[in-house]
Amino acid sequence: MKEYTITVVETNNPTILKFETNHFITTGSNYEFKNIDEAKNSPLAQQLFYLPFIKTVYISGNFIGLERYDIVEWSDVKDEVAQQLVEYLNAGEPTILEEEKTKKVAVTVYAEVTPNPSTMKFVASRKIVPATFEFKNIDEARDSDLAKALFQFPFVKQVFLDENYVSVSKYDVAEWDDITMELRELIRNFIADGKDVVSLDIQPQNTTEVPKQKEQAPVDLDDTSLEIIDILEEYVKPAVASDGGNILFKSYEKQTKTVNVILQGACSGCPSSTFTLKNGIETMLKNMMGDRINEVVALNG
């Protein structure tokens, strides 16, 4: 039986806190409940509404978001709420009572070229995973039925998943004009059938390499590393995500002033990745952090 832990994360809205879990608690769907009547299919949300200060409950992927009324401050109650959530989840109680999927899920998928000629981005009209995942072969894809299905094609080299898209990297043996339609239809049909793209037990990769929030960062990271993480999260990740890729902070070498990063998805192996690193990311970090940065190196790029 899985053991749950809770990390409390502040948001830009002072009335809303995120209670992040170390395991997924739902499939790719998002849920919002504004009162106990709306929460009839969520025993967890119903229990939370018995707390008089709870205004709205959000449940998605690996977190529970709670909006409070002004009668209390989060600083006074957040620890008790976190403890209640941990006890509930570790008791094996249901989060969402999923309805039987008897109808197809309405979804569209379109193909989008990326700066990497070996990678195509397939964008869905709905969220398909709660975090980023990269699979370089079928063995690594054991927790993703969609990735395993894609690896059945001999020309598929790598699969990268982000919130609403799949980046597929191919070997040179095939041309995109010949395979794009087949890949798009496989991805669309898989999602339309209501199947889970990744297993609920799989750990999000972007939380093992680099925390999304400074509050979750390992205690051994220095202030410079934390500042680099903030810049990558705010300025760089949205740009590379639009191209079907991802960037992860790996380490900062103080003596050489070198920043080591990992490129994923379309960014990995892209012919223009060196230009992006040197003229984009490296220049930005030097401008924002001064002489603390000498070089940015992609460990697998």
249 Cβ contact partners less than 8 Å away, ≥ 6 residues apart: 209, 210, 225, 228, 229, 232, 259, 261
Average pLDDT score, the chain: 84
**269 phi-psi bin (left φ>0, alpha ψ -120 to 50, beta other):** left
Give the mean model confidence (pLDDT) for residues 3-25: 93
At 166-216, the pLDDT tens digits run: 999 999 999 999 999 999 999 999 999 888 899 876 765 543 344 443 444
Nearest to residue 68, comparing CAs of 79, 57, 60? 57
Beta strands 109-113 and 30-33: pairing type?
unpaired
Please report which confidence band the pLDDT of residue 47 belongs to, taking 50, 70 and 90 as the band edges. very high
Instruction: Say if residue 219's pLDDT is above 60.
Output: no
Give the mean model confidence (pLDDT) for residues 118-132: 90
Nearest to residue 146, comparing CAs of 43, 61, 27? 27
pLDDT recorded at residue 28 = 61
Please report which confidence band the pLDDT of residue 268 belongs to, taking 50, 70 and 90 as the band edges. low
Give the mean model confidence (pLDDT) for residues 214-224: 62
At 74-94, the pLDDT tens digits run: 999 999 999 999 999 999 988
- Tell me which amino acid residue 208 is: T
pTM: 0.52
Distance between CA 292 and CA 290 in Å, rounded? Answer: 6
pLDDT recorded at residue 297 = 83
Are 128 and 161 in contact by the 8 Å Cβ rule? The answer is: yes
Higher pLDDT, 246 or 81: 81
- Lookup: tokens for 147: 């990735």
| Helical (H) or strand (E) element with 247 | strand 245-253
pLDDT recorded at residue 300 = 59
Across 70-79, 202-211, 235-244, 247-256, least confident range: 202-211
pLDDT recorded at residue 284 = 84
pLDDT recorded at residue 211 = 41
Nearest to residue 165, comparing CAs of 110, 123, 111? 123
Give the mean model confidence (pLDDT) for residues 264-284: 67
